[in-house]
Amino acid sequence: MKEFGKRMVEDHSKANDQVHELALQKSIRLPKRPSSKLAAAKAQLEKLSGDQFDRAYMADMVADHKKDVADFQRESSAAHDPAVKTFATQILPTLQDHLKQAQSIAPAQ
C-alpha cells in the first residue's frame, strides 16, 4: 500500500508538470486550488487513520482512476488539439496501470 502511495505521488507529480507545461504553451490558466469535490475528499481522508484510511483511500483511487482512464481514452482518440491528444495517449497506459494496481490492492483492504 505504501509503495502504491509513493508511486501515485511520483507519477502524478510528473504528469502535473507536463500538464502545467502544456497549459503554458496553450496559454491556458489552470486552477490554483483543488475542486470542492477533491477538497471534501481530502478533508474526509484526513479524519481517518489506520485500516479505515487505507480502505477509503483505495476506494477513492479505484473510482478516480476509472474516471481518469475513461477521460484519457476519450481524449486520446477524440481530442481536436494534437498536443492534448498526444499528452492523453502518453499518460493513458500509466493510468491504466494505476487502476489495475489499485483494484488489486482494494479488495485486500
Rounded Cα distance between 104 and 18, Å, is 28
User: What's the domain range around 14?
Assistant: 2-108
How far from the centroid of its chain's Cα atoms is residue 99's Cα?
9
pLDDT digits (tens, 9 = 90+) for 8-56: 999 999 999 999 999 999 999 999 998 999 999 999 999 999 999 999 9
Question: DSSP 3-state assignment of 1?
Answer: coil
Number of domains in the chain: 1
Residue 109 pLDDT: 55
